[in-house]
């Protein structure tokens, strides 16, 4: 197809997974009604804990648990591809921070977060298990979509790996924490990942007391074609194959790059 309709929807997740499931179901219904091809929801919407973050260990669910089951059911019979973040139980007491791509009642792809948010006095690794597998590309309406999660955006290697693998679009579910300069970091980094890889970026930021919202859709030349504020919202944009081709013709960075990026992860630091 020559175009793809993408939407980023932002809301504030609560500690109640069933309440969050209702919010996800509503966004899926609206996206299907509006003819959206790709719906990107925030990171970790199964449950959110502003304080007592260790509680996510007990609230995490397996992928065949009730939350994901409801999401799968909500997409059955629809054409929209939904990307959202959950906390997935693991073989240890620390779950994975996992992105799911879901379509027509089926799990299309899974990506377990590689870069954990151990920064700005936060330590995601205290409660989450880091993964080390580069996410797959997902085909949506003829566009190849690469998966990234929140803090991943600060590491250009992952975006470049996905672009070199053939990604036309990068999706970025996030729960970007408020703080000095953080909104500036968010907009700058999301724009950079689009521009340096000549890809579209659809970034969905959770809103609420702790997070900034500010969902964005960037085109392959780093132009913000849609953006949200700090409250619950949804933004929709038409992603054009013509614009993608034109950007890559005028700015052939994927052809001109001189250094390979290895998908082999470095060992995690010992703490």
pLDDT digits (tens, 9 = 90+) for 221-254: 999 999 999 999 999 999 999 999 999 999 999 9
Q: Determine the Cα–Cα distance for residues 168 and 245; give it in Å rounded to an integer.
A: 10
| The one catalytic residue among 27, 94, 150, 207 | 150
- Domain 3-251 belongs in CATH node 1.10.1740.10: no
pLDDT given for residue 271 in this prediction: 62
Is 157 one of the annotated active-site residues of the chain?
A: no
In this predicted structure, the answer to whether residue 157 has a pLDDT above a threshold of 80 is yes
Low-confidence winner among 26-30, 195-199, 261-265 (lowest mean pLDDT):
261-265
Determine how many CB atoms are found less than 10 A away from the CB of residue 115: 21
Is 43 one of the annotated active-site residues of the chain?
A: yes
DSSP 167-191: -SEEEEEE--B--TTHHHHHHHHHH
**pLDDT, average across residues 24-35:** 98
Domain boundaries, the chain: 3-251
In this predicted structure, the answer to whether residue 81 has a pLDDT above a threshold of 80 is yes
Beta-ladder partners of 98: 86, 112
| The one catalytic residue among 113, 124, 206, 207 | 113
pLDDT given for residue 110 in this prediction: 98
pLDDT given for residue 60 in this prediction: 97
Is 113 one of the annotated active-site residues of the chain?
A: yes
| The one catalytic residue among 27, 43, 88, 124 | 43
Give the pLDDT band (50/70/90) at residue 266. Answer: confident
Share of the chain above pLDDT 70, in %: 99
pLDDT given for residue 128 in this prediction: 97
């Amino acid at each position: 197809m020559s175009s793809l309709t993408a939407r980023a929807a932002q809301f504030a997740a609560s500690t109640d997974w069933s309440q969050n499931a209702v919010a996800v179901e509503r966004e899926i219904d609206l996206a299907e009604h509006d003819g959206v091809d790709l719906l990107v929801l925030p990171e970790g919407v199964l449950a959110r804990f502003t304080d007592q973050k260790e509680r996510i260990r007990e609230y995490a669910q397996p992928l065949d648990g009730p939350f994901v089951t409801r999401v799968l059911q909500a997409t059955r019979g629809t054409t929209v591809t939904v990307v959202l973040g959950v906390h997935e139980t693991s073989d240890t007491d620390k779950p994975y921070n996992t992105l799911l791509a879901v379509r027509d009642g089926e799990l299309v792809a899974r990506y377990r977060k590689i870069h954990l948010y151990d920064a700005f006095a936060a330590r995601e690794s205290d409660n989450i298990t880091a993964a080390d597998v580069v996410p797959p590309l997902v085909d949506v309406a003829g566009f190849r979509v690469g998966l990234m999660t929140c803090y991943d955006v600060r590491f250009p290697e992952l975006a470049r790996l996905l672009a070199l693998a053939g990604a036309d679009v990068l999706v970025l579910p996030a729960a970007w924490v408020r703080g000095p300069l953080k909104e500036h970091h968010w907009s700058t980094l999301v724009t950079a990942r689009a521009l340096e890889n000549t890809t579209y970026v659809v970034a969905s930021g959770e809103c609420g007391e702790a997070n900034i919202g500010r969902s964005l859709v960037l085109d392959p030349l780093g132009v913000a074609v849609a953006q949200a504020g700090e409250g619950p919202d949804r933004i929709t944009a038409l992603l054009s194959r013509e614009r993608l081709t034109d950007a890559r013709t005028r700015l052939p960075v994927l052809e001109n790059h001189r250094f390979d990026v290895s998908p082999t992860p470095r060992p995690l630091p010992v703490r």
